[in-house]
Amino acid sequence: MSLIADLTARLGPGAVLSGAEVPARAVSDASETGRHRPVALLRPSSTDEVSAALAICHRHAQPVVPQGGMTGLAGGANPGEGEVALCLDRLSGIEEIDPDGATMTLRAGTVLQVAQEAAETAGFLLPIDLGSRGSCQIGGIIANNAGGVRVIRHGMTRNNLLGVEAVLADGTVVSNLNKLTKNNTGYDLTQLLAGSEGTLAVITRAVLRLRPLPRARCTALCALEDFADVIELLKQARIALPGLSALEVMWEDYFALLQEAEGIRLLSPAPPFAVIIEAEGMDEARLTEGFEDFLGRALGAGILTDALVARSLKEAGAFWAVREGHHLSRLMPHLINLDVSLDIGRMEEFATGCRRALRDRFADIRVLFFGHAGDGNLHIAADEPLPGQDDATHELCAIVYDLVRKAGGSISAEHGIGTLKRAYLGCSRSPAELAVMRALKRALDPEGMLNPGKLLGAAE
Ligand SMILES: Cc1cc2nc3c(=O)[nH]c(=O)nc-3n(C[C@H](O)[C@H](O)[C@H](O)COP(=O)(O)OP(=O)(O)OC[C@H]3O[C@@H](n4cnc5c(N)ncnc54)[C@H](O)[C@@H]3O)c2cc1C
Q: Which of 73, 133, 258 to mutate to test the pocket of ligand 1 (most atoms within 8 A of CB)?
A: 73
- Establish whether the linkage from the previous residue to 269 is cis, with ω within 30° of 0: yes
Distance from residue 190's CA to the centre of ligand 1 (Å):
18
Q: How far apart are CA 231 and CA 347, in angstroms?
A: 10
Query: Does 224 share its domain with 251?
Result: yes
Across 352-379, average pLDDT: 94
Q: Is residue 315 part of a domain?
A: yes
Across 87-98, average pLDDT: 98
pLDDT at 259: 96
- Residue 370's contacts (CB-CB under 8 Å, 6 or more residues apart) are 248, 249, 250, 251, 254, 255, 323, 325, 378, 379, 381
pLDDT in tens, 206-258: 999 999 999 999 999 999 999 999 999 999 999 999 899 999 999 999 999 99
Q: Is residue 460 part of a domain?
A: no
pLDDT in tens, 367-385: 999 999 889 999 999 999 8
- Residue 297's contacts (CB-CB under 8 Å, 6 or more residues apart) are 236, 240
Judged against a pLDDT cut of 70, whether residue 460 lies above it is answered with no
Distance from residue 139's CA to the centre of ligand 1 (Å):
8
Beta strands 84-87 and 40-42, pairing class: parallel
Across 262-270, average pLDDT: 93
Amino acid at 301: A
Q: How many residues does the chain have?
A: 460
Query: Does 98 share its domain with 208?
Result: yes
Q: Is residue 203 part of a domain?
A: yes
Q: Is residue 454 part of a domain?
A: no
Q: Which of 91, 106, 132 to mutate to test the pocket of ligand 1 (most atoms within 8 A of CB)?
A: 132
Distance from residue 137's CA to the centre of ligand 1 (Å):
7
The CATH number assigned to the domain holding 289 equals 3.30.70.2190
Which atom of ligand 1 is nearest the CA belonging to 147? Answer: 11
Query: Does 355 share its domain with 377?
Result: yes
Query: Does 222 share its domain with 142?
Result: no
Q: Is residue 445 part of a domain?
A: no
For atom 23 of ligand 1, the residue with the nearest CA is: 140
**Greatest CA separation found in the chain?**
76
Q: Please spell the DSSP secondary structure of 66-123, one letter per residue.
A: EESSS--SSSTTPPPTTPEEEE-TTS--EEEEETTTTEEEEETT-BHHHHHHHHHHTT
Across 200-204, average pLDDT: 98
Contact assessment for residue 287 and residue 281, using Cβ atoms and an 8 Å cutoff: yes
Q: How far apart are CA 437 and CA 343, in angstroms?
A: 25
Distance from residue 419's CA to the centre of ligand 1 (Å):
14
Q: Which of 136, 145, 415 to mutate to test the pocket of ligand 1 (most atoms within 8 A of CB)?
A: 136
- 1 class by beta-carbon count within 10 Å (0-12 exposed, 13-18 middle, 19+ buried): exposed
* C-alpha separations of 434 from 119, 155, 456 in Å: 38, 25, 8
pLDDT in tens, 131-181: 899 999 999 999 999 998 889 999 999 999 999 999 999 999 999 999 999
Amino acid at 183: N
Judged against a pLDDT cut of 60, whether residue 331 lies above it is answered with yes
Number of structural domains the chain divides into: 4
Q: What angle do CA 342, 346, 348 make, to 5 degrees?
A: 105
Distance from residue 226's CA to the centre of ligand 1 (Å):
33
Contact assessment for residue 331 and residue 257, using Cβ atoms and an 8 Å cutoff: yes
Across 320-347, average pLDDT: 92
Name the domain boundary from 266, 292, 324.
324
- Residue 417's contacts (CB-CB under 8 Å, 6 or more residues apart) are 74, 76, 197, 425, 454, 455
Q: Is residue 440 part of a domain?
A: no
Domain hosting residue 74, numbered range: 3-87
The CATH number assigned to the domain holding 350 equals 3.30.70.2740
Q: How far apart are CA 444 and CA 451, in angstroms?
A: 13
Query: Does 345 share its domain with 419?
Result: yes
Q: How far apart are CA 327 and CA 37, in angstroms?
A: 28
Of all residues in the chain, the percent with pLDDT exceeding 70 is 99
Q: Which residues does residue 98 pair with via DSSP β-bridges, in sequence order?
A: 103
Distance from residue 311's CA to the centre of ligand 1 (Å):
32
Distance from residue 272's CA to the centre of ligand 1 (Å):
32
Query: Does 73 share its domain with 110?
Result: no
The CATH number assigned to the domain holding 109 equals 3.30.465.10
Distance from residue 195's CA to the centre of ligand 1 (Å):
10
The CATH number assigned to the domain holding 72 equals 3.30.43.10
For atom 16 of ligand 1, the residue with the nearest CA is: 72
Query: Does 166 share its domain with 231?
Result: no
Q: How far apart are CA 382 and CA 129, in angstroms?
A: 25
Contact assessment for residue 289 and residue 241, using Cβ atoms and an 8 Å cutoff: no
What is the strand order of the sheet 84-87 is part of? Answer: 16-18, 40-42, 84-87, 64-67
Query: Does 207 share its domain with 98?
Result: yes
* C-alpha separations of 290 from 69, 238, 295 in Å: 39, 13, 9
Distance from residue 30's CA to the centre of ligand 1 (Å):
9
Query: Does 312 share its domain with 360?
Result: no
pLDDT at 164: 98
**Confidence class for position 458, pLDDT limits 50, 70, 90:** low
Q: Which of 110, 144, 168, 323 to mutate to test the pocket of ligand 1 (most atoms within 8 A of CB)?
A: 144
Across 326-338, average pLDDT: 91
Judged against a pLDDT cut of 50, whether residue 410 lies above it is answered with yes
Name residues contacting ligand 1 (CB within 6 A). 29-30, 65-73, 76-77, 88, 108, 130-132, 136-137, 139-141, 143-144, 146-148, 197-198, 202-203, 414-415, 451, 454
Q: Which of 28, 67, 327 to mutate to test the pocket of ligand 1 (most atoms within 8 A of CB)?
A: 67
Q: Is residue 49 part of a domain?
A: yes
Of all residues in the chain, the percent with pLDDT exceeding 90 is 93
Query: Does 208 share its domain with 292?
Result: no
Distance from residue 70's CA to the centre of ligand 1 (Å):
6
Across 419-437, average pLDDT: 95
Mean pLDDT of the residues in the chain? 95
State phi, psi for 279 to the nearest 5 degrees: -135, 150
Amino acid at 220: A
Give the H/E segment covering residue 234.
helix 227-240
Q: Which residues does residue 367 pair with via DSSP β-bridges, in sequence order?
A: 382
SS3 content of the chain, % helix, strand, coil (to 5): 40, 20, 40
Name the domain boundary from 68, 87, 106.
87
Q: Which residues does residue 131 pair with via DSSP β-bridges, in sequence order?
A: none
pLDDT in tens, 2-61: 999 999 999 998 999 999 999 999 999 999 899 999 999 999 999 999 999 999 999 999
Query: Does 222 share its domain with 301?
Result: yes
pLDDT at 459: 47
Distance from residue 71's CA to the centre of ligand 1 (Å):
5
pLDDT at 202: 98
Nearest CA among 113, 120, 166, 160 for reference residue 139? 166
Query: Does 220 share its domain with 197?
Result: no
Q: Please spell the DSSP secondary structure of 323-369, one letter per residue.
A: HHTTTHHHHSTTEEEEEEE--GGGHHHHHHHHHHHHHHHSTT--EEE
Q: Is residue 294 part of a domain?
A: yes
Q: How far apart are CA 206 and CA 196, in angstroms?
A: 15
Name the domain boundary from 87, 119, 140.
87
